[in-house]
Amino acid sequence: MSHLKLISFLSLIFLSSNLLADNHSVILIKNATIITASDQGTLENTDLLIEDGIIKDIGKNLIVNDGSEIDATGKFITPGLIAPHTTLGLQEIELEAETRDDSTDHYSAGFSIAKAFNPASSLIPYNRAGGITSAIITPSSASGIFSGMASAFKINGALMTESMIEDIALVMNLGGNKDSRASTIMSLEDSFEVARRFAMKRSSIMRGDDFDFGDYSIRDLDAIQRLLKQDIPLVVRANRASDLLRMIEIANQYEIRIIFAGAKEAWRIADTIAEESIPVIIDPMDNIPSSFDSIAARLDNAAILENSGVKVLISSQSDHNSYLSRQGAGNAVTYGLSKEAAIKALTIHVAETFGIADQIGSIEAGKDADIVIWDNDPLEVSSFTTKVLIDGENMSLMTRSKRLRDRYLEKLGLN
């Protein structure tokens, strides 16, 4: 594992030095309203300087001698949005199983979804044009109680895309199955026990000593062990307040880090979640009591969580339209979330939660220049992107949707 990391680290250095050598680039974006998603808050009439794919400076009246300038007067800039829970790059058509790579029947916790990521997926240009620049790609289901491991990718569309970080979180579901949730909890505890025993005797087992693996593979047990070592967190997809409380108990007992996803009833225990510093991924628009696990769903879930001090991350339920998290964030504001927190819920809160805030998630000097320029208030449904930059590179905003539109506008004589 560390060997792999070293290689990717070296190749990163190699790539960056390449950039420096061949493509020294300077971009100055002038006179924008910059929503930094950092302590600096929102800055009016401010310039943003990008050098070699990195944010270099933010300030008034910045000047460059050599480089391209973008006038953003009247426009808004946010960090590139990060989809906190999506299958972007893992599917084309939801109902066509052959076009999907987000599930397996073979592996459990060790199911590493990064290996299936397709940077050329047809979903990516739509979502990039909608302002998404990075995605936490998350497996939907795997064998047993775990769904596998999530990874972080930038969606710049390059075929050579490397993950930002692979296997950054373990994922599981709780509730809503035919099997009792008690059984899920017990299986979870059992899996911890097996992983612990395996870790203690790993080298002897690898040399041939007997070990009762049960339903798990070596990959699965290694992944669970990483959770137990607090190397990675566990994303728990659950809605019922009592399930969330149960998982908090388990997290404290086994000293693991957890993240809630779904969490339609999280508002009922907002103070407890805040006390435990558990980040929560929600779709603020989903107020439907769609099962007895989400009877208390409501539109101000995000606002109540924020007021209690919970770190809120905002996701869209449709992976094809992961970028609609922005509409969710706008609605969360309508129902009481602060605008500042709404932008953070789409950016820096995601980066912090998944341990990539040193690179992305806010507009601060030294971070990757993943930024979006909007024609108006980025939380407003009628607004849209005018430019998307990933690592300072201007992304094409063309999509199949626009190509089809143009073809038929012409055919109908409406162009």
Q: If binding is defined by CB under 8 A, does position 7 make contact with another protein?
A: no
Q: Could you tell me how many helices (H) and strands (E) the chain has, helices first? A: 12, 16
8 A C-beta contact, residue 26 and residue 49? yes
CA-based torsion, 388, 394, 395, 398: positive or negative: positive
Quote the least distance from Cβ 291 to another protein, whole Å: 5
Contacting another protein (CB under 8 A), which of 85, 128, 298, 367? Answer: 298
Contacting another protein (CB under 8 A), which of 119, 289, 336, 355? Answer: 289
Contacting another protein (CB under 8 A), which of 52, 380, 387, 393? Answer: 380
Of 115, 114, 122, 112, whose CA–CA distance to 91 is shortest? Answer: 122
Quote the least distance from Cβ 266 to another protein, whole Å: 14
SS3 393: strand
Cβ-based nearer residue to another protein, 20 or 295: 295
Compute the distance between CA of residue 241 and CA of residue 39 in angstroms, rounded to an integer: 32
CA–chain centroid gap for 402, Å, is 26
Q: If binding is defined by CB under 8 A, does position 333 make contact with another protein?
A: yes
Question: Largest alpha-carbon pair distance within the chain?
Answer: 75
Contacting another protein (CB under 8 A), which of 7, 74, 404, 410? Answer: 404
Q: If binding is defined by CB under 8 A, does position 85 make contact with another protein?
A: no
Which tokens hold the place of 145? 């109680």
Quote the least distance from Cβ 124 to another protein, whole Å: 12
**Cα–Cα distances in Å, from 94 out to 73, 97, 113, 203, 355?**
40, 7, 17, 42, 29
Cβ-based nearer residue to another protein, 192 or 267: 267
Compute the distance between CA of residue 298 and CA of residue 74 in angstroms, rounded to an integer: 35
Q: Cβ neighbours of residue 349 under 8 Å, at least 6 residues apart?
A: 279, 311, 312, 313, 361
Of 250, 248, 320, whose CA–CA distance to 280 is shortest? Answer: 248
Quote the least distance from Cβ 406 to another protein, whole Å: 8
Quote the least distance from Cβ 386 to another protein, whole Å: 10
Contacting another protein (CB under 8 A), which of 14, 215, 400, 410? Answer: 400
Quote the least distance from Cβ 383 to another protein, whole Å: 8
Contact map string, positions 232 to 271, toward another protein, x by CB under 8 A: ----------------------------------------
Compute the distance between CA of residue 388 and CA of residue 68 in angstroms, rounded to an integer: 15
Among 17-25, 196-204, 221-229, 329-337, the segment contacting another protein (CB under 8 A): 329-337
Instruction: Output the DSSP codes for 72-131.
Output: -TT-EEEEPEEEEEE-TTSBS-TT-GGGB-SB-SS-STT-BGGGG--TT-THHHHHHHTT
Q: If binding is defined by CB under 8 A, does position 177 make contact with another protein?
A: no
Q: If binding is defined by CB under 8 A, does position 318 make contact with another protein?
A: yes
8 A C-beta contact, residue 336 and residue 326? no
Q: If binding is defined by CB under 8 A, does position 230 make contact with another protein?
A: no
Quote the least distance from Cβ 381 to another protein, whole Å: 5
Site for another protein in 111-130 (CB under 8 A): 123, 126
Site for another protein in 35-64 (CB under 8 A): none
Among 42-50, 102-110, 318-326, 344-352, the segment contacting another protein (CB under 8 A): 318-326
Q: If binding is defined by CB under 8 A, does position 321 make contact with another protein?
A: yes
Q: If binding is defined by CB under 8 A, does position 93 make contact with another protein?
A: yes
Compute the distance between CA of residue 58 and CA of residue 364 in angstroms, rounded to an integer: 7
Report the C-alpha dihedral over residues 314, 249, 187, 116, rounded to 10 degrees: 20
Among 69-77, 145-153, 331-339, 350-358, the segment contacting another protein (CB under 8 A): 331-339
Q: If binding is defined by CB under 8 A, does position 296 make contact with another protein?
A: yes
Report the C-alpha dihedral over residues 282, 286, 287, 289, rounded to 10 degrees: -100
Quote the least distance from Cβ 275 to another protein, whole Å: 22
Which tokens hold the place of 342? 């709404």
Sites of contact with another protein (CB under 8 A): 92-96, 123, 126, 285-292, 294-296, 298, 318, 320-321, 324, 327, 330-331, 333-334, 379-384, 400-402, 404-405, 408-409, 412, 414-415
